[in-house]
């Protein structure tokens, strides 16, 4: 293992809640450069796996490795610093500030700099330029002076991607990127994820199978907390056990 080919690996990952296994013995491998989707019917354990990977939950058994290094007990801030960044935490957005201010704050957090560093005109303008470039990358330039709290839902999620990109992730983790979106927003965010994945790895939990089939080259299907199938969407989606898991038969 730890060949460098896999950015993220889990070994026998489990989460037990009072005798009930929400996740059981999950060994996942996310290959560098892939858009890897974690799918499965309701209650399959997707959110629990995601929360284990992003350190919102602690596993009851198993290991997590990032670029071959064990991170099972590493905190969320430390894994973000290593390049593994979770997007879509609405709470991370400051609703009363503009989009530009939000992205500038995300950049300052990433740089770990004090305001003193940025007080020269040159560095402030460099910070502004980087923030503008990130807003442009996610298609939000025209909204830069809007208050984040006033943005429609789909645009807010694009802002969260911009803020995650400020951390320069090598592995971007997305939790249901299209949940609750209009068709138009889904088309826009699918295109955006495709573009941001060009030079990084993406692991996403996603319900919408047409988004999954459009974006991901590998999928892992979970059922009752365990891996049911894994591989390219075209192959896995034809497997009788996967079809029956989705039909609940």
Which residues form the interface with ligand ADP (CB under 6 A)? 17, 20, 22, 40, 42-48
Give the pairing of strands 20-26 and 6-17: antiparallel
At closest approach, how far in Å is the CB of 72 from ligand ADP? 18
At closest approach, how far in Å is the CB of 46 from ligand ADP? 4
Structure-block tokens of residue 104:
């500038």
The residue (of 20 and 115) whose beta carbon lies closer to ligand ADP is 20
At closest approach, how far in Å is the CB of 117 from ligand ADP? 41
At closest approach, how far in Å is the CB of 16 from ligand ADP? 9
Structure-block tokens of residue 174:
């997305």
At closest approach, how far in Å is the CB of 219 from ligand ADP? 14
CA atoms within 13 A on the CB side of 133: 10
The residue (of 22 and 103) whose beta carbon lies closer to ligand ADP is 22
The residue (of 110 and 206) whose beta carbon lies closer to ligand ADP is 206
The residue (of 43 and 95) whose beta carbon lies closer to ligand ADP is 43
The residue (of 17 and 117) whose beta carbon lies closer to ligand ADP is 17
Angle between helices 121-137 and 153-165 (to 10 degrees): 130
The residue (of 169 and 225) whose beta carbon lies closer to ligand ADP is 225
At closest approach, how far in Å is the CB of 15 from ligand ADP? 8
């Amino acid at each position: 293992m730890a060949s460098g080919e896999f950015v993220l690996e889990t070994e026998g990952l489990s989460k037990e809640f009072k005798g009930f296994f929400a996740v059981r013995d999950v060994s996942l491998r996310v290959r560098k450069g892939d858009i890897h989707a974690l799918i499965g019917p309701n209650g399959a354990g997707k959110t629990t796996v995601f929360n284990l990977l992003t350190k919102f939950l602690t596993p009851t058994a198993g290991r997590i490795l990032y670029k071959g290094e064990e991170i099972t007990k590493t905190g969320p801030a430390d894994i973000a610093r290593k390049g593994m960044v979770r997007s879509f935490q609405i709470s991370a957005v400051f609703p009363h500030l503009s989009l530009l201010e939000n992205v500038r704050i995300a950049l300052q957090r990433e740089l770990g700099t004090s305001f003193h560093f940025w007080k020269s005109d040159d560095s402030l303008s460099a910070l502004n330029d980087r923030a503008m470039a990130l807003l442009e990358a996610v298609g939000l330039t025209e909204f830069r002076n809007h208050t984040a709290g006033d943005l429609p839902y789909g645009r807010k999620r694009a802002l969260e991607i911009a803020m995650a990109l400020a951390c320069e992730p090598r592995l971007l983790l997305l939790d249901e990127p299209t949940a609750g979106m209009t068709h138009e927003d889904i088309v826009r965010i699918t295109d955006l994820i495709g573009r941001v994945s060009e030079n990084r790895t993406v692991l996403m939990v996603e319900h919408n199978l047409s988004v999954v089939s459009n974006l991901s080259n590998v999928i892992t299907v979970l059922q009752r907390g365990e891996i049911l199938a894994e591989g390219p969407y075209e192959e896995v989606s034809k497997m009788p056990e996967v079809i029956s898991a989705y039909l609940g038969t």
